[in-house]
Amino acid sequence: MGDKLLNEKEVAEQIGMSVHWMRRKRMTGGGIPFLKMSDTAYGAIRYEQRAVTEFLNSRLRRSTCDQGAVQAA
């Protein structure tokens, strides 16, 4: 692993979304992959910086009608 671990507030600020959005995506799916640091219901959640970057890159578009991420040249 070795990647920097971020909490949900740090990630929300980095991607310009709310903490509420982060929590909703964890429950419904389609958000950034995360680590649950304990087995309890209220265990700390952390995100790898690499996963945040990959999530953002997967949402790059060249126009509003693009269906998929922009492919690297």
Going from N- to C-terminal start, the domains of the chain cover 5-57
Q: Residue 11: is its pLDDT beyond 60?
A: yes
Mean pLDDT of 17-21: 97
Q: Residue 29: is its pLDDT beyond 90?
A: yes
Q: What is the pLDDT of residue 40?
A: 83
38 three-class SS: coil
Dmax (CA) of the chain: 44
Mean pLDDT of 30-54: 92
H helices within the chain, ranges in order?
8-15, 19-28, 49-57
Mean pLDDT of 33-54: 92
